[in-house]
Amino acid sequence: MDQALSGVRIIDMTHNQAGPACTQILGFLGADVIKLEEPKGGDIARVNMRDQKNSDSLFFLILNANKRSLTLNLKTDAGKDLFRKVIAQSDVLVENFGPGALDRLGFGFAALSKINPRLIYATIKGFGTYGPYSGFKSFEPVAQAMGGAMSVTGFPENPPTYVYPAIGDSGTGMHMAIGILAALQQRQATGRGQQVEVSMQDAVVNLVRVSLRDHQRFGRAMPRTGNQLGRNVPGTTYPCAPGGPNDYVFLYAQPQMWPAVAKVLGQPELTEDARFKTVEARWDNRTELNAIVEAWTRRRSKHEVMRLMGDAGVPCGACQDTGEVLADPHLKAREMIVDVDYPTRGTYQTVGCPIKLSDSPVAVSRPPLLGEHTDVLLESLCGVEPDEAKRLRQEGVV
């Protein structure tokens, strides 16, 4: 069965996380993603944080499934000629080099559009290609700091806090995937490609929009509020048995759910208590109410609390650690945690495709070894015969 993006060829010239996250999701959805790497070393993520001497790092593996690897040395004339042939037969190029890197090689948007007017040129940068900060480089914490995320994360008595989930890197990648899909759709009508740009700061700002709304509502910078969500009580984390560092649940009860919470607590009479009868009263007396909830949760495991509240229709989630996520039966049933076998490592666990299309099922395939598909791609896209490919390899072109 064809997948949603079957027939779309993407040249992935990205490294580390933001770009590879984008191209991997497109590969999951059926695009032919060709990871173009330098012959010596390839994506720096292959060796960054390497935990096994003779294997690519897990950091690389979790971001580069469902791709093929082509090595080309773009600093050679022969490598540039081959690259032009590849571009002529491709739909999308995705890059996240430092500002101006591809332009200096002669492969900016204007130059490649002359080779292939239908090409979609997708650019990921820390601060974009224009604006006062466009020449600056960025990493995940920088994007979070500049996008406002750190200022509203953490507890008020502590400094602004970095959010470990990669909203700046993978978040940017997901925004770029949307932009690429939009450009592909528009190309059907116009016949033309275009440049698609997403900056890490822009992506973080988009994800912080609710706090920006609240700044305008209240006329001041939003404070850090820890784990409290809004002014509903219960609406924060509560400790559970046996009391380990991650033995917590997050419990959030909308106003209409308060009677259900009281019933699960075994104290339905709390709904008639003047201290807790209204949203405002529960907020004003949140210290007392949180103490009542905590006394109940401390006697139960986090998953028991989650089940009891969930069965009552109250949103509640166990604060699962990373090992619990990897072993979660629900995630495994949804193929969000899958096993993959890699030649130099053996079996490891990775994250599957979060997008479920009924007519486009996803099978996660292992990431490519460096240059694994070079010969077959040179032959199919550039007409390079095996003997010539051998010569190019000896000359350091591939």
Q: Which DSSP string corresponds to 125-138?
A: ESS-SSSTTTT---
| Full residue range of the structural domain in which residue 348 is found | 9-207+336-394
Q: Quick one: 168 and 127 in the same domain? A: yes
Query: Given this model, what pLDDT does residue 117 score?
Result: 98
Specify if 214 maps to a domain.
Answer: no
pLDDT in tens, 153-172: 999 999 999 999 999 999 99
Same domain, 107 and 168: yes
> Is residue 379 over pLDDT 60?
yes
Strand partners, 129: none
Q: Is 287 helix (H, G, I), strand (E, B) or coil?
A: helix
> Cα separation of 364 and 3, whole Å?
13
d(CA 163, CA 144): 8
The DSSP element (H or E) to which 12 belongs, if any, is strand 9-13
Per-residue pLDDT of 309-350, as tens digits, reads: 999 999 999 999 999 999 999 999 999 999 999 999 999 999
Q: Are residues 368 and 298 in the same domain?
A: no
**Per-residue pLDDT reduced to its tens digit, 239-286:** 999 999 999 999 999 999 999 999 999 999 999 999 999 999 999 999
Residue 306 has pLDDT above 60, yes or no: yes
Q: d(Cα 344, Cα 325) in Å, to the nearest integer?
A: 25
Cis, peptide link before residue 242, omega less than 30° from 0: yes
Q: Are residues 285 and 172 in the same domain?
A: no
Residue 224 within any structural domain of the chain: no
45-66 tens-digit pLDDT: 999 889 898 999 999 999 999 9
Tens-digit pLDDT profile for residues 126-142? 999 999 999 999 999 99
The three-state secondary structure class of 57 is coil
Do residue 366 and residue 263 come from a single domain? Answer: no
| pLDDT for the residue numbered 121 | 98
Instruction: Answer for the pair 378, 82: CB distance below 8 angstroms, yes or no.
Output: yes
Q: Note the pLDDT of residue 275.
A: 98
Does residue 228 fall inside a structural domain? no
Same domain, 131 and 250: no
Count of domains forming the chain: 2
Residue 222 pLDDT: 96
Lowest mean pLDDT among 134-138, 178-182, 294-298: 134-138
Q: Is the pLDDT of residue 97 over 70?
A: yes
For range 66-81, the mean pLDDT: 97
Examine the fold and report which residue of 300, 326, 352 is the final residue of a domain before the chain moves on.
326
Neighbours of 386 (CB within 10 A): 11
234: preceding bond cis by omega (within 30 degrees): yes
**Do residues 346 and 381 share a domain?**
yes
* Judgement on whether residues 247 and 190 belong to the same structural domain of the protein: no
Q: Would you say residue 1 has pLDDT above 70?
A: no
Query: Token pair for residue 171?
Result: 């978040």
Both 50 and 185 in one domain: the answer is yes
**Alpha-carbon span 212 to 75, nearest angstrom:** 45
Q: What is the pLDDT of residue 339?
A: 98
Across-strand partners of 92? 10, 120
Q: CA–CA separation, 160 vs 28, rounded Å?
A: 35
Extract the tokens encoding 236: 């924060």
Domain with residue 320: its CATH number is: 3.30.1540.10
Residues marked as catalytic? 169
Inside any domain, residue 220: no
Q: Quick: pLDDT tens for 210-245.
A: 999 999 999 999 999 999 999 999 999 999 999 999
Q: Is the pLDDT of residue 115 over 70?
A: yes
